Amino acid sequence: MPDAFTDHLFDTPSAAESSLAAYTTLRLGGPAGTLTTALHADEAVETVRAASAAGRPVLVLAGGSNVVIGDAGFPGETLLLRTSGIEVVAEDPRSVVARVAAGETWDDFVRYAVTNGWSGVECLSGIPGSAGATPIQNVGAYGQEVAHTIEAVRAYDRIADEIRVMTPVECAFGYRTSVFKHSDRYLVLSVDFRLERSGSSAPIRYAELARSLGGEAGDRVPLALARDTVLKLRAGKGMVLDPEDRDTWSVGSFFTNPVIPEDLFRTLGEMPHWPAGAGPAGESLVKLPAAWLIEQAGFPKGFAGEGVAISGKHTLALTNRGAGTTAALLDLARVIRDGVRARFGVELHPEPVLVNCEF
């Protein structure tokens, strides 16, 4: 859903635009050492290769929607990834494989898929950022994750100095994580999505979305209806970028929903929860809603720090109110984390990537 701010995020910087705040949805972050814009994948690879050869650290930014950059900025090479393009690389009567450039705006791709009758990413409508960021985070919302449809990720391997095509197994997708997260080894260049040819959504998995659609989990609805409903739900939570709405000056959900052993869960008393499969030792796991924990620990919507606050629309979004700093945002996050730990004995972990700052 383009607006003045998101349009600016994808502009080519002028020499004067060295503040990385201009390229993040939080609008926070200090100066860049060097800013380079790549319009093509080979330019991106060469920039990273040259920086690696010179021993310079590299920060890759596209949509800037899932990153928290320190107030001191990033002293190395910042690569603004501005590649674009959507291409059908394989198809059969039931499905298509769409190759999406890493710099392509994610919601533009979702809109394109819905318009063309491709089912599988419609519930991920309205998520800010780029297509190349989605496998890094294993982006998910309203019952869908990109891992459900990703067939391959094309990436530059900085260690091997080669371009690799990585399978979902090699991507090691997990809950809001992958082999790409917290590592600078790989530069994602494009992502292949296998989508169903259908005018109907994938089966609705998320109870809130099913209720909003007037149906039940497992229903399939027209693609456009699923997309429109998700966009309305996200907008109501401040999760669709709006330059006039400070509740959207965030990275979306700041904390992941904690996953804990069932034995620990049984000591906590009654609370919302979902089964989360088995852990590495075979123990049963339970997922808890971070928003509920935060609210019950005494941190309501609008709870404020210095120039920053919990969104007035969504408890999981920590927002810059216009005069905030990264230090103040992380101070607020620590207060919330410590309060939840003291109340429940459960640890909250940040969802975004932290750059030149610590939590």
Q: What residues act catalytically?
A: 176, 253, 351
Residue whose structure tokens are 């990275």? 251
The CA-based dihedral angle spanning residues 114, 250, 67, 240, taken in that order and rounded to the nearest 10 degrees: 10
Q: Say if CB 158 and CB 91 are below 8 A apart.
A: no
Among 125, 116, 114, CA closest to 224: 114
Residue 356 CA: distances (Å) to CA of 32, 75, 298: 11, 9, 30
Please spell the DSSP secondary structure of 46-93, one letter per residue: HHHHHHHHTT--EEEESS--SEEE-TT-EEEEEEEE----EEEEEE-S
159: Cα separation from own chain's centroid: 25
State the Cα–Cα distance between residues 321 and 133, nearest whole angstrom. 25
99/36 Cα distance (integer angstroms):
24
Furthest C-alpha separation in the chain: 58
**Residues 297-313 as b or e (16 or more Cβ within 10 Å = b):** bebebebebebbbbbbb
Coil/strand/helix, residue 262: helix
- What is the distance between the alpha carbons of residues 78 and 59, in angstroms, rounded to a whole number? 5
Segments of the chain assigned E as strands: 32-38, 58-61, 67-69, 74-81, 86-91, 95-101, 118-119, 140-141, 144-145, 150-157, 162-166, 186-197, 259-261, 274-278, 284-287, 308-310, 318-320, 353-355
